[in-house]
């Protein structure tokens, strides 16, 4: 690989990420970048190239699938980096090996086939009344207080409650489980094992007494050949759902609120035409996506990608933020246009693409629609009530996640 030409520590990636990535897009479709303390990586800068990379079978998410690979697994790297106690090593290896986002090929296809029924259109639509109820209660409580934090008192408890509802967490256990979820986001390893042990016990209960929830579907649903998920696979999937389905949507909602406050003409349009909100969510996903980059892919052979020679074993990652502001796909990309219409085959990349396209996309869109309706459309009083603060960004990430969003209702 070529030596890095871009340092992700350059201040412009923090001060003006949209402008910085626009410069990279015009420089080349792939740019060698340097991550602090890590090897060079090819950064994919353009929308259609990122979509192509996420669907190219020559690029894999598990480095062990690169022919001739030698070295520690992701689980072993995690054990070393976080000092995981020895009694959890086998469990971590099992959960890592079954992580839907970190496997390729036939095994990924099998997991996806067995998991998909838990995210059926019927099941997601059936959650709408419950999401409406939870959201309305949280908004009313916040309005009664007058001021509060939008993340701590609305978006995080909303998405946490919805994930508990989807998974099938017993009502009495939800406060404790949501505490573990919150700690999980902070890489508190103790909370991960506590949550995993709880899921194992829930699996046992649902084997004996099935309910209309995700755990029951995963436990009892098999394919026509009788293939079913193992306990480790179910636990791994639930941990992925908690991490991706809860935390990413909890950070998207305040980003979307801020985007509408920054674009009052678009907010006025939605208040005049609330039926346009489901379509508008796609535009807000484009400009307010809190996930800055796609996970790395590794070349399984020497190849040419986007006109650039790639060597076997090279790592490629895509800037989702750069892709979502690519003028080759989005006219006037820096403008928020909730009525934006794209041509067939064009899309934002907030949910990825290809075999690893986010299973929870429909649920995230539904939660966002309900949240924005309750916060911004049915009410017109929400305003920022203090200084917004952000999590410390990973160098070069571009998109920043809000850590505090004081509001007045």
**Distances from the Cα of 145 to the Cαs of 141, 226, 261, 389, in angstroms?**
6, 53, 21, 21
Are 276 and 40 spatial neighbours (Cβ–Cβ below 8 Å)? no
Q: Can you give the pLDDT of all 409 residues of the chain as single tens digits?
A: 666 567 766 778 777 888 989 998 998 899 988 765 566 789 999 999 999 999 999 999 998 899 987 766 666 666 666 667 777 777 767 777 778 888 999 999 999 998 998 888 899 999 999 999 999 999 999 999 999 999 999 999 999 999 999 999 988 998 898 888 887 766 667 888 888 999 999 999 999 999 989 999 999 876 666 788 999 999 999 888 887 778 889 999 999 999 999 999 999 999 999 999 999 999 999 999 988 888 889 999 999 999 999 999 999 999 999 999 999 999 999 999 999 999 988 999 999 999 999 999 999 999 999 999 999 999 999 999 999 987 765 544 555 678 899 999 9
Q: Is residue 149 part of a domain?
A: yes
CA–CA gap between residue 68 and residue 72 (Å, rounded): 13
Q: Is residue 229 part of a domain?
A: yes
Q: Is residue 139 part of a domain?
A: yes
CA–CA gap between residue 13 and residue 292 (Å, rounded): 12
Which helix (H) or strand (E) covers residue 126, if one does? helix 121-126
Q: Is residue 338 part of a domain?
A: yes
Q: How many domains does the chain have?
A: 1
Dihedral of the alpha carbons of 283, 294, 128, 143, in degrees to the nearest 10: -70
Q: Is residue 121 part of a domain?
A: yes
CA neighbours within 13 Å on the CB side: how many for 285? 23
> Has this prediction a pTM greater than 0.85?
yes
Q: Is 234 exposed, middle or buried (0-12, 13-18, 19+ CB in 10 A)?
A: buried
CA–CA gap between residue 386 and residue 380 (Å, rounded): 18
Token digits of residue 118: 């838990």
Instruction: Give the domain range for residue 55.
Output: 6-408
CA–CA gap between residue 195 and residue 189 (Å, rounded): 10
Q: Is residue 1 part of a domain?
A: no
3-state secondary structure 240-290: HHHHHHHHHHHHHHHHHHHHHHHCHHHHHHHHHCHHHHHHHHHHHHHHHCC
CA–CA gap between residue 314 and residue 302 (Å, rounded): 9
Neighbours of 1 (CB within 10 A): 14
Reduce the DSSP state of residue 86 to 3 states and report it.
Answer: helix
pLDDT score, position 396: 47
Q: Is residue 245 part of a domain?
A: yes
Contacts of 142 (CB under 8 A, 6+ apart): 148, 150, 153, 154, 407, 409
The CATH number of the domain holding residue 86 is 1.10.630.10
């Amino acid at each position: 690989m070529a030596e890095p030409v871009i340092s992700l520590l350059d201040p412009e990636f923090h001060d003006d990420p949209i402008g910085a990535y626009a410069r990279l897009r015009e420089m080349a479709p792939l740019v060698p970048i340097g991550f602090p303390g890590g090897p060079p990586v090819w950064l994919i800068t353009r929308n259609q190239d990122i979509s192509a990379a996420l669907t190219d079978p020559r690029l894999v998410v598990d480095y062990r699938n690169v022919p001739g690979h030698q070295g520690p697994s992701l689980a072993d790297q995690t054990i070393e980096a976080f000092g995981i106690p020895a009694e959890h090593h086998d469990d971590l290896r099992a959960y890592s090996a079954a992580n839907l986002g970190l496997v390729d090929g036939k095994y990924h296809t099998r997991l996806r086939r067995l998991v998909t029924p838990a995210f059926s259109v019927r099941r997601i639509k059936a959650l709408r009344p419950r999401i409406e109820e939870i959201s309305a209660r949280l908004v009313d409580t916040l309005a009664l207080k007058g001021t509060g934090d939008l993340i701590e008192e609305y978006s995080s408890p909303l998405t946490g409650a919805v994930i508990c509802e989807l998974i099938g967490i017993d009502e009495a256990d939800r406060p404790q489980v949501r505490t573990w979820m919150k700690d999980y986001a902070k890489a508190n390893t103790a909370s991960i094992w506590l949550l995993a042990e709880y899921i194992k016990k829930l699996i046992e209960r649902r084997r004996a007494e099935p309910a209309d929830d995700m755990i029951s579907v995963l436990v009892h649903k098999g394919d026509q050949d009788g293939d079913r998920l193992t306990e480790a696979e179910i636990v791994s999937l639930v941990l992925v759902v908690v991490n991706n389905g809860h935390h990413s949507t909890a950070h998207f909602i305040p980003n979307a609120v801020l985007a509408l406050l920054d674009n009052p003409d678009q907010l006025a349009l939605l208040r005049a035409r609330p039926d346009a909100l489901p379509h508008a969510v796609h535009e807000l996903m484009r400009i307010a996506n809190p996930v800055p980059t796609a996970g790395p892919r590794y070349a399984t052979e020497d190849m040419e990608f986007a006109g650039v020679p790639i060597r076997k074993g090279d790592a490629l990652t895509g800037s989702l933020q750069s892709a979502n502001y690519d003028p080759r796909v989005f006219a006037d990309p820096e403008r928020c246009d909730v009525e934006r219409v794209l041509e067939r085959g064009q899309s934002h990349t907030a949910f990825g693409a290809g075999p690893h396209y986010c299973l929870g996309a429909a649920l995230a869109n539904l939660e966002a629609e309900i949240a924005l309706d309750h916060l911004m459309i049915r009410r017109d009083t929400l305003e920022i009530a203090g200084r917004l603060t952000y999590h410390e960004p990973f160098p070069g990430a571009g998109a920043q996640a809000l850590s505090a969003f004081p509001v007045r209702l």
